[in-house]
Each structure stands twice: as structure tokens, then as C-alpha cells.
Amino acid sequence: MEKRKFGFVMSMVLAAGTILGACGGGAEEEATDNGGSGEETDKFTVAMVTDVGGVDDKSFNQSAWEGLQAFGEENGLKKGTDGYDYIQSKSDADYKTNLNTAVRNEFDLTYGIGYKLKPAIEEVAKQRTESQFAIVDDVVEGLDNVTSITFKEHEGSFLVGVVAGLQTKSNKIGFIGGIESDLINKFAGGFEAGVKAVNPDADVTIEFAGAFDKADKGQQMASAMYSSGIDIIYHAAGGTGNGVFAEAKSLKETAPEKEVWVIGVDRDQSEEGKVTVNGEEMNVTLTSMVKRVDLAVQDVATKAMNDEFPGGEVIEYGLEAEGVSIAPTQDNLSEESIAAVEEWTTKIKNGEVEVPTVPGKN
Amino acid sequence: MDTLTIIALIVSSSLFAATPLIFTALGGVFSEKSGVVNIGLEGLMIIGAFTAIVFNLTFDTTFGSATPWVALLAAMLAGGLLSLLHGVASIAFRADQVVSGVAINFLALGLSLFLVKLIYDKGQTDMIDSRFIKKDIPILSDIPVIGDIFFSGIATPTIWAFIIAFVSWFVLYKTPFGLRLRSVGEHPMAADTMGVNVAKTRYIAVFISGLLGGLGGAVYAQSISLDFSHATITGQGFMALAAMIFGKWHPLGAMGAAIFFGFAQSLSIVGSSIPFLDSIPAVYLLIAPYVLTILALAGFIGRADAPKASGTPYIKGNR
């Protein structure tokens, strides 16, 4: 009897909570609606909708948010609905809702960060033709109010390939990708071309883990690669790449004289490579290929503010616009490779070299 | 690579990847042997991984190189406490054990990510400095051939996994406590008539499963992923659950199944450099672990019978 009573009370509380919760949501929505249409501001406002990573994911979303903050600071905007703001998505189901919220709050430009938002942006942009959108890292075609921001990952990967080609001791280099796709192939293709450009004898092994979140698999793959004599691995595999770092650090710790290196991706991953061997600080991160989402976001926002919104276009940020680059941490690079990186950067910018976007057949 | 290197590589990386699964699968065995289905293993691993990483980051300077081991204890405790929640729901309140287990999974993921955000103000933790690494075991690794294959590049937790698997077998099959635990899972009413405290036994079993689940997650986090984020534990708990069923709810069987999973995965990775296997297209090697598992489940192990009372709450006096 006691238990039944307890259960009844519990369900009543839950039901009440649901009803009250619904009320709260409705009222809030109405308020923002009125607020939005009530006042017209001539200030340029911009918002971004994150994917499930959140604005502090040390990756894409964070970088984009840093770009927006820099943009806001530059133009004297405040964080909030009359300046710049972000809306965090807790699950894949939130994207559409969050994009609509941004539109209702009359943001002039709304970013969707990451390829996961593509379907949501497509749908919302079709309905809200008067609003401007931009998607990072994917392409939305046939809509005049959407700009697609992509990166020439192959160019950045080419540069780290040059470093790998020059600094390998065994002439064996590995690449571990997340899931085989056009995007990841750009990393692999550019990297391979970069290695071959400076060291035609080097052998590049390209493998895919089939997942971005399987650190154990990355660890096993790295273990296999390092024992086959490969001394440098470039990973483009997100969380799977953690396993590559784990394996490299483990090897370094047991045999400090052994040559094991990891090349990081998307941001400067020198922090991940830190390892202390017998009281001595070492780092297994050779260098990293950095994607400057922040610069791209800032650039598009500036264009939109000056009424030059590149709607319907696909903008590719490469070495030219510093959209991709080699990480600022260069402790492990030789003089020779730093010079070579500069040389090849110029060549790519001048168009002397065409960097392939798919790996060649071995 | 020569044959010896390849074999040594496969053995070492299978065992390394299997270690967290062994711990967690053993946890599953304890819980299910006592009649409580534990789908929440994934959640227990998550909370274990989270606790271990946070503990490791916080107390690294205090404990030095012993940090990962102390963090394991903290993670076990956290896993044990969370599993008691599952215990209360499914033993005292007789809730559906599957639903309660799923709730544990949701709760663990949500809670740990929320706390990461609260503590570190970012979406994932930093990487830990003190961790488990693969080492050569002194003396034993000097034995020719066998030493290279079995005793080189082994992490210490792997040895513990073997020890704990045997201890679990001993406890479950050779001690009065184990007999009671199993009888509670097979026929709680009979056990009750013989004076076994069904609820107490089940609580203890679920608590042990929480300890081992947390341990599994902590080992994974401190040897493989090295940080904690939403992508740290993705499905390993369910693989451990599968290993437990595959191993017919027997501690040593579960251990064997976990090693088999690790072996299949490492074979699919190393396969491309084995002379005979390198002509097979990569996609077949990638699906090999799953195909092997299905074949093994369907063909080789025969019927897998769960403990009879698994999943049913015991209500005193009901027939």
C-alpha cells in the first residue's frame, strides 16, 4: 500500500512537472517572438548553432565561436540577441529548432557548424528565404541564402606531408583516417603527395579505422603500424586518434630512443603528445594540420555585414586565406623542414603545384 | 614484418583491447548469475572512466606514478555506488531491470558530461599524464619465442584481468557464497526456503558488478583514450554484455569471449600485412570481427542458457 501511494505521488509530481514545463516553454517562446518583431535594430547581428560537441569542444565549434567573438569585438558588438550569440545543440534533434530560434531572434546571419547540420539548414533556409545562413564543412547547393564554407584540407595536409617526408628515418609513413569519405580522402591525398614531393622513396600506408570514436581501434592500428617500421603517423580520425597518441606515448615511455611521431589534425595537438620519460619532458607530436574555422567564420560575417554576403556560393579556404596551416608549435621540426614548408607554401599559393584531393593508387 | 613479430603484435594488441571488456563482462556475470539483468554495464563503464580521469587529473601530483592505480579504486567505488541505484530499482522496487539498466546508461553519460562541463568548463577533459603502458614482463619476456609472444608489450591491468577472472570463477563455483549467489539466480524461492537472503545476495552481486564495470571503464580510459569525452565509451559496455552471453555466463568463458573480440579486431587491423590475408579486400577484414562473432554464437558454442531467474524480481510468497 505504501509503495502504491508513493508511486501515485511520484507520477503526479512528474505529470505536474511536464504540464508546468510546457507552460513555461510556451510563454518564453511568445516573449521572444514579440521581442523580435517589436524592435528593429540596424546593428548587424550574427549567431551560430553548434552541433552536439558544444562551444568548448576544443575543436570546430570552439574555433567557430572564437571567430564570432573576435568579430564581435572588432565591430563593438555585445554577446546576446542584439549582437552575437551561440545556441548549443544537445542532440541531433535540436538543430532545426535552434536554427529557427536564431531566425526568430532576427539574427542577420546564422551559422550551422559541422556537416551534421546540413539537412536542417537546407530545410530551414528553404522556409526562411529572407534570412542568411552559412554552413561550415559541408556544401548546401541551390539555395541563394546559404553560403558553404569548406577548407582545402589537402593543402594543409600536403605541408605536414612535406615535414613527414623530410623527417622520417625509416622511409615508412602511415596515415590513419576515420571513415573513408571524400573529406578524409582530401587529407590522405594531400598528405601522400606532400611526402612524395620531397621524398619519392618513402612509402605511405593509408588505412581507415571505420569510425571517429574508437580509440581502442586507433590504438591497435597505430601499434601495428609502428611495429611494421613506420615512424610517423598522421591521423585524421577525431577520437580514434586518441588511441594513436596513447600508443605513441606508450612506446616512447618504454623505449625513449625509438622514433615515434604523431601528426595531429584540425588544431594544434602538441598538448596531446606530451609525455614524461624518466623525468624528462618529451613530445610525440611532430606537428599538426590546423583548420582555421575562426578566420573563415569571421571572414564570412564581415562580408555579410558589408552587404556582400556570398549566398549560394561555396567558399574554399586554403593556404591563400590562411584557412589551413601548419601548427604554430614547431619544437620538433628541423630547420630543413621549416624552410621546406615555407617554400612549398609559396609554390602552392602561386599555383605551381596542384595538390590532389584523393590518394593515388600505390 | 616476420611471422613472429606479427603473432606477437596480434597477441599483445588483442589482450590490450580485451582487458577492459574482461573486467566489465565479469561484472555482468556476477549480476546476472544472481538474477539481475545488467544492461547498465555501459553506464557503469562511463562513470568508471569519468571518475578515473577526473581523479587522475586532480591527484596526479599527490600520488605520482601510483595515480592510475588509486584512480582505479575511486572508479570502482563510483561504479559500485551507481550500480546500487540499479539494485534499489530492480530489487527493492521490482522495476523492469532492462528499463532500469537503460536509465543507468543515460544517467551516467548525462551526469558525467555535465560534471566535466561544470568542473573544467569545456566539453572534454585534458589528457592524463600518468597512465598504464605496455611493458615487457621481466624474466618471463626473455624466454625465446613464448616470451616474445605472450610476455612482451603487456599492460599490468591485463595480468590483473586474468587473475580476477580466475578469482571470480573460484568465488562463484567453489565457495558457499558463490553457490548462494547462483541459487538466487536460478531459483530464488528455493534459495529463500533454505534460508538465503535473496535481496541481500542480489545487492552484493549488483554491487560487485558495479565495481568491476567501473574498473573496466577506468582501465579503458587510462590506457587507451587517455581523456574523457562523449566519445570515450561508445558501446564497449554492450560488447562486454555480448562477451558475457558468448561466454555462457561463466567467468572464464566471458574472459575467453572478450579476448576473442579483441583478437578478431586486431586480426582485421593487422591482416593487411599478413602475406596470406593481404589479398583480401579491406572491407572483408573490417567486417570479420562481427562475422566471426555471429558464426561463433550461432555455430560453435551451442545453446547459451541464461540463469533461470535472470530478469525477474523475487517477490516473497508468490508462486
Q: What distance in Å separates the CA atoms of residue A81 and residue A174, rounded to the nearest whole number?
A: 47
For A46-85, the pLDDT digits (tens) are 999 988 777 777 678 888 998 999 999 999 898 888 889 9
Q: What distance in Å separates the CA atoms of residue A96 and residue B197, rounded to the nearest whole number?
A: 53
Sorted by where each starts, the structural domains of chain B and their CATH numbers stand as: 3-300 (1.10.3470)
Q: Kindly tell me if the per-residue pLDDT of B13 is higher than 70.
A: yes
Query: Chain B closest CA to A266's CA: distance in Å?
Result: 16
Coil, strand or helix: which one is B15?
Answer: helix
Angle separating helix axes A94-104 and A2-38, nearest 10 degrees: 40
CA-based nearest residue in chain B for residue A282: B129
Q: Are B232 and A228 in contact (CB < 8 Å)? A: no
Interface-testing mutation among A52, A226, A250, with chain B (most B C-beta atoms within 10 A): A250
The shortest CB-CB distance from A56 to any of B121, B131, B136 is to B121
Block residue for cell numbers 507552460: A23
Q: How high is the pLDDT of residue B319?
A: 65
Query: Chain A closest CA to B269's CA: distance in Å?
Result: 6
Mean pLDDT of successive 10-residue segments in chain A (362 residues)? 61 60 43 40 84 75 89 90 87 90 92 90 92 91 91 94 94 92 92 94 91 87 90 91 91 88 90 85 92 92 91 89 88 92 93 88 48
Q: How high is the pLDDT of residue B271?
A: 73
Q: Using an 8 Å CB-CB cutoff, list chain A residues near B284.
A: none
Q: How high is the pLDDT of residue A7?
A: 63
ipTM metric: 0.81
Q: How high is the pLDDT of residue A2?
A: 57
Q: How high is the pLDDT of residue B258?
A: 93
* CATH number, span A41-151: 3.40.50.2300
For B238-285, the pLDDT digits (tens) are 989 989 988 889 999 999 999 998 888 888 777 766 767 777 777 787
The shortest CB-CB distance from B122 to any of A56, A213, A275 is to A56
Contact B65, B173 (CB under 8 A): no
Interface-testing mutation among B3, B56, B269, with chain A (most A C-beta atoms within 10 A): B269
Q: How high is the pLDDT of residue A26?
A: 40
Angle value at C-alpha B261, between B259 and B263, nearest 5 degrees: 65
Q: Is B175 exposed, middle or buried (0-12, 13-18, 19+ CB in 10 A)?
A: exposed
* Average pLDDT over chain B, rounded to an integer: 88
Chain centroid offset of residue B196 CA: 28
The shortest CB-CB distance from B133 to any of A210, A228, A250 is to A250
For B131-145, the pLDDT digits (tens) are 888 888 888 878 887
Query: Chain A closest CA to B69's CA: distance in Å?
Result: 17
Query: Chain B closest CA to A110's CA: distance in Å?
Result: 22
Q: Is A171 on the interface with B (CB under 8 A)?
A: no
Listed in order, the ranges of chain A carrying CATH 3.40.50.2300 are: 41-151, 153-290+324-350
CATH number (1.10.3720.10, 3.90.1150.10, 3.10.20.600, 3.40.50.2300) of A153-290+324-350 reads 3.40.50.2300
Q: How high is the pLDDT of residue A80?
A: 87
Residues B170-175, mean pLDDT to the nearest whole number: 96
B interface with A, Cβ–Cβ < 8 A, is 1, 5, 9, 12-13, 16-17, 93, 117, 121-124, 126-127, 129, 131, 133-136, 220, 223-227, 229-232, 234, 236, 265-266, 269-270, 272-273, 282, 286
Q: What is the 3-state secondary structure (H, E, C) of chain A?
A: CHHHHHHHHHHHHHHHHHHHHHHHHHHHHHHHHHHHHHCCCCCCCEEEECCCCCCCCCCHHHHHHHHHHHHHHHCCCCECCCCEEEECCCCCCHHHHHHHHHHHCCCCEEEEECHHHHHHHHHHHHHCCCCEEEEECCCCCCCCCEEEEEECHHHHHHHHHHHHHHHCCCCEEEEEECCCCHHHHHHHHHHHHHHHHHCCCCEEEEEECCCCCCHHHHHHHHHHHHHCCCCEEEEECCCHHHHHHHHHHHHHHHCCCCCCEEEEEECCCHHHHEEEECCEEEECEEEEEEECHHHHHHHHHHHHHCCCCCCCCEEEECCCCCCEEECCCCCCCCHHHHHHHHHHHHHHHHCCCCCCCCCCCC
pTM of the full predicted structure? 0.81
Q: How high is the pLDDT of residue A285?
A: 94
Q: Using an 8 Å CB-CB cutoff, list chain B residues near A175.
A: none
